[in-house]
Amino acid sequence: MSGKNKRKGINQPQNDADDDIIVESPFAGQDDPMSAFLPKSFGKQAPAKGTIQHDKLKRGNAPAPPLTDASSPRKLGADVHDASDGAYGRPTSRSDGSDDDSDDDSDDSDGDEFPTSHELVIKDHEKAVTSVSLDPSGMRMVTASHDSMIKLYDFTGMASNHLHSFKTVEPREGHLVHKAEFSNNGESILVIPSCAQAKVFDRDGYELVEFIKGDQYLRDMNNTKGHVSEVLGGTWHPTDKNLIVTCSSDSTVRIWDVNQKRQQKEVIVVKSRTSKGGRTRVMCVKWDDPTQGGKKLLGAGSQDGSLTLWGGDGGPFSRPMGTVEDAHEKETGVCSLAFSKDGNLVVSRGADGTVKSWDTRKFKKPIMTRNDLPTSSQSTTISFSPDCSSVLTSDSAGKLHIISPATLRSETTVAITSAATIATLWHPRLNQIFATSSDATVKILYSPKTSVRGAITILGNALKKRHIDDDASLTTDIVTGINADAICLPNAVLPSKTKSLAAASTLANAYKPFKPHATPFSKSTPDEAHIKKNVALSGMRDEDPREALLKYADKAKNDPLFTGAWKSTQPVTIYSTEQDEEEEEEEEDRSKRQKRI
């Protein structure tokens, strides 16, 4: 006898020698009305998965514009890395000298190399999105915007018809948010609002730490315990989950310990060497990653166009390792910095529309320069790809540029949107590119062949069922049908149909103004009679001050207390009366009239 129970139909012939259990199911024809009431299956059914339709999300094959002579990079340094050695990028030019990047989007091999073939659009903010960050697992995302909000997304709880955040937080009321970044362990989020105090939230959006604000009246920034003006940037330490570095418009870079929010751990004062002198706005700061073979460097870019590097993980930071004063154009400043894995190469993005590569071993002149990438936002970022073979940045025309770090030539150019593209991020685990724009959108670029999770998880999740309360056609509005000139009282009692006195009084009471409740303080408030009776000198407000002084005139004349020393020489005071003056004026008028006659 077989140990398995075989399911057989009702019309299947039975074998006498077979002792298997035969389960007979109810049968009804398709035209039989009874079939609508018969169960199709038993047990709890899994929700239907949304069909992944990548064809609808596929990007158009629009070729990128070729580079002209004006946009080609210029050599400014003597030590130039060759693009063919593969040190900081792949070759981008052919043997015949023609550029290879004019038709990258239409090439299938490039489509597999870069995850830019498909895109998923998330529009949940109201204003420009300035920052995007993901945790290391790639399952949660946080965005910051100029609408003063940060939004947290969980890809496992989203669907193709529900692209919304699960938590919205306003870190500081009325202040736009410059940046929100996950820590390396994914447990905390660093938030930089446009104020002097940075904050730390947990991964669920609850505030953990708010760093202290310094004394703005102190001139020496070394003596303040925190920033005294707007914080412009910040990032987490690559290895220590408790360390944070922030930069501010007070010309300082400060290192914080999240366990000591009352004072920074280190303070670095950046001195401006411009003709104006004084302070400068430190716009960006970045730590080198020592886990990838880096040199434990700390770099900062300022609005005066200078780049500064400090060596050593624990300091000292009193003297920089290297400084380039005219790295970018003055008064526009440096938007972002990025270090390679080995720490020998650093790329900088300037608000003047330039991208420059630098060798940290010879930190005096740039290796290469590209000046055809205009930007309209000081939050525009630049970053390396996960394998450091490419560099990501964007421009004000809404294009994403994947360029070679050796030659700074575009390997591919992706048109994101018609608005300015601000922040870009290439997640190493998902192999997906995230780009934010000034039109309040976040676009996820991915490839169905090489990307994992992220956008693919969203598209594969079950579709969200819309609640009945979300359907406007099924919602009853009590205001509908009421005259626009009518006055609606929220606490009013509707009139009764009966014309009794009780109903009339109830209706009259409904239109009476609201009387505040009597508090214990209002019950014990003294009245005017109580004040006059018990408070001394309380009636002086109703008394004429001149009459009050004249009461003591005779006493002061007979017993001069303060003027007795010169009583003998004191002249006699003669007061003129108004009546005498009027009589004199009348006599003068009469005499003048008589003379005229």
In tens, the pLDDT along 420-462 reads 999 999 999 999 999 999 999 999 999 999 999 999 999 999 8
Whether residue 325 contacts residue 306, with contact meaning beta carbons closer than 8 Å, is answered with: yes
Q: Which one, of 6, 3, 2, 4, lies nearest residue 14 by Cα?
A: 6
Cis peptide before 316 (omega within 30 of 0): yes
**Cβ neighbours of residue 545 under 8 Å, at least 6 residues apart?**
none
Query: Other C-beta atoms within 10 Å of 88: how many?
Result: 25
Q: What is the pLDDT of residue 84?
A: 36
**Cβ neighbours of residue 89 under 8 Å, at least 6 residues apart?**
83, 389, 390, 404, 405, 406, 407
- Asked whether residue 22 is domain-assigned, the answer is no
Local structure of 40: helix, strand or coil:
coil
pLDDT of 264 > 80? The answer is: yes
Least confident of 461-470, 475-484, 499-508, 547-556: 475-484
Q: For residues 171 and 55, which has the higher predicted lDDT (pLDDT)?
A: 171
Give the structural domain span for 78.
73-89+102-462
Q: For residues 495 and 339, which has the higher predicted lDDT (pLDDT)?
A: 339
503, two tokens: 């109903």
- Asked whether residue 428 is domain-assigned, the answer is yes
Local structure of 591: helix, strand or coil:
helix
- Torsional sign, CA 545, 547, 548, 550: positive
Strand order in the sheet with 399-403: 383-384, 391-394, 399-403, 410-415
Q: Which one, of 313, 312, 333, lies nearest residue 321 by Cα?
A: 312
Residue type for position 411: E
DSSP string of 425-494, one letter each residue: EEETTTTEEEEEETTS-EEEEE-TTT--STHHHHHHSBPPPPPGGG-GGG---TTTTS-TTPPPPTTPPP
Whether residue 450 contacts residue 426, with contact meaning beta carbons closer than 8 Å, is answered with: no
Per-residue pLDDT band at 115 (split at 50, 70, 90):
very high
d(CA 297, CA 237): 11
Measured CA distances, 157 to 143, 434, 435 (Å)? 17, 19, 21
- Asked whether residue 559 is domain-assigned, the answer is no
Per-residue pLDDT band at 222 (split at 50, 70, 90):
very high
Indicate which CATH number applies to the domain containing 317.
Answer: 2.130.10.10
- Asked whether residue 213 is domain-assigned, the answer is yes
pLDDT of 260 > 60? The answer is: yes
Q: Which one, of 399, 415, 404, lies nearest residue 355 by Cα?
A: 404
d(CA 140, CA 373): 31
Share of the chain above pLDDT 90, in %: 52
Q: What is the pLDDT of residue 540?
A: 78
Measured CA distances, 192 to 41, 148, 169, 366, 427 (Å)? 54, 11, 13, 30, 21
- Asked whether residue 562 is domain-assigned, the answer is no
Q: Kindly provide the b/e burial profile for residues 101-134, where b requires at least 16 CB atoms within 10 angstroms of the residue's own CB.
A: beebbeeeebbebbbbbbbbebebbeebbbbbbb
Q: What is the pLDDT of residue 125?
A: 96
pLDDT of 40 > 70? The answer is: no
Q: pLDDT tens for residues 297-337? A: 999 999 999 999 998 676 778 889 999 999 999 889 999 99
Q: What is the pLDDT of residue 22?
A: 55
**Cβ neighbours of residue 61 under 8 Å, at least 6 residues apart?**
105, 106
Q: What is the pLDDT of residue 473?
A: 59
Whether residue 233 contacts residue 218, with contact meaning beta carbons closer than 8 Å, is answered with: no
74, two tokens: 């210029």
At 246, which helix (H) or strand (E)? Answer: strand 243-248
**Domain count across the chain:** 1
- Torsional sign, CA 145, 231, 428, 348: positive
CA 336 to chain CA mean position, Å: 17
Per-residue pLDDT band at 585 (split at 50, 70, 90):
confident
Pairing of strands 368-370, 298-302: unpaired
- Asked whether residue 199 is domain-assigned, the answer is yes
Local structure of 423: helix, strand or coil:
strand
Residue type for position 384: F
- Asked whether residue 113 is domain-assigned, the answer is yes
Q: What is the pLDDT of residue 19?
A: 53
d(CA 331, CA 351): 9
Q: What is the pLDDT of residue 4?
A: 42
558, two tokens: 């007979």
Q: What is the pLDDT of residue 498?
A: 46
> What's the whole-number mean pLDDT along residues 233-251?
95
- Asked whether residue 303 is domain-assigned, the answer is yes
